Amino acid sequence: MTKLSVNVNKIATLRNTRHYEVPNLERLARIALDAGAAGITIHPRPDRRHIRPGDVPKLAKVVAEFPDAEFNIEGNPFGAEYLQHLANVRPTQATFVPDADDQFTSDHGFDLSDPQVCQSLKPKIAEVQGLGCRVSLFLDPRPDLVPHAARLGADRIELYTAPYAQAFPTPQLNSVLELYIQTAQAAVEHGLGVNAGHDLSLDNLARFLSSVPKVLEVSIGHAFIADALEFGMAETVRRYRAITG
């Protein structure tokens, strides 16, 4: 079984087009968890285009209402505000993502083949693990990066799945999938858990999970919220859960 973590950023994006709490982020996160989602994911960005600082503790309280649910906060580990969020609420998981402050959306993982990147990440991983958080590193599907993640002491990797989504369905799909398979296998061999996320959807998720081994968690936001506009929040959770198990 693969856990489903619902990324609620896009709900906050819609809310932020007005000066009041509609749609209500906490209420919809609660509906998702009550319908069977295993967790909630957010990615607070410095420009506050969706998640605001005040949302973080509120969502942490919602997740705490569900004893088995997990709270996952994504962000750049070199940003002071991100680290403060982690220290304040101590989520289950911190997913480190190498995004610039003004980045439109996440579009690449850490290049752990660069010794300077590894040198800068190692103390951040230890610092956040010291808060009691599991640390996952956002990576491109490159099996050569996995040993570096293990040496840094990360708990998991998150596979950046936009290239897979772009290849689905095209003649290049099998060759693209092979990189994900090899990277996931390498992670398991090195004792790392495997997460995945970015542009996964009802259309492409089943093929990914049936091909890539040992995926513990998928975090899905944009497609999930688009589906929720059509099917409703709870029904959308059920449809994704029918795929994840």
Confirm or deny that 222 is annotated as ligand binding: yes
Confirm or deny that 52 is annotated as ligand binding: no
Per-residue pLDDT reduced to its tens digit, 13-37: 999 999 999 999 999 999 999 999 9
Residues 6+ apart with CB under 8 A from 92: 39, 70, 71, 72, 133, 134
pLDDT at 8 over 90: yes
pLDDT at 105 over 80: no
Catalytic residue among 85, 148, 158, 198: 198
Q: Class of 3-244 per CATH?
A: alpha beta
User: What's the distance, CA 120 to chain centroid?
Assistant: 21
Cβ proximity of 25 and 204 under 8 Å:
no
Please report which helix (H) or strand (E) contains residue 177, including its range.
helix 173-189
Confirm or deny that 232 is annotated as ligand binding: no
pLDDT at 108 over 90: no
Q: What band does 99 get if pLDDT is binned at 50, 70 and 90?
A: confident
Specify the pLDDT at position 100: 67
Active site residue 74: yes
pLDDT at 81 over 90: yes
Per-residue pLDDT reduced to its tens digit, 154-207: 999 999 999 999 999 999 999 999 999 999 999 999 999 999 999 999 999 999
pLDDT at 103 over 70: no
Alpha carbon distance 73, 56 (integer Å): 9
Per-residue pLDDT reduced to its tens digit, 228-243: 999 999 999 999 999 9
Residues 6+ apart with CB under 8 A from 172: none
Domain map (residue ranges) of the chain: 3-244
Confirm or deny that 221 is annotated as ligand binding: yes
Encoded tokens for 20: 């009041």
Specify the pLDDT at position 106: 67
pLDDT at 73 over 90: yes
Residue with token string 């300077």: 116
Return the beta strands (E) in 55-121 as ranges. 70-75, 93-96
Alpha carbon distance 10, 156 (integer Å): 25
| Mean pLDDT of the 79-84 span | 96
Per-residue pLDDT reduced to its tens digit, 123-163: 999 999 999 999 999 999 999 999 999 999 999 999 999 99
Active site residue 43: yes
The CA-atom distances, in angstroms, between 198 and each of 68, 113, 153, 159, 242 are 24, 22, 24, 9, 19
Confirm or deny that 48 is annotated as ligand binding: no
Catalytic residue among 43, 70, 85, 158: 43
Residue 42: how many other CB atoms lie within 10 Å: 29
* Length reported for the chain: 245
Catalytic residue among 70, 74, 158, 217: 74
Specify the pLDDT at position 47: 87
Q: What band does 49 get if pLDDT is binned at 50, 70 and 90?
A: confident
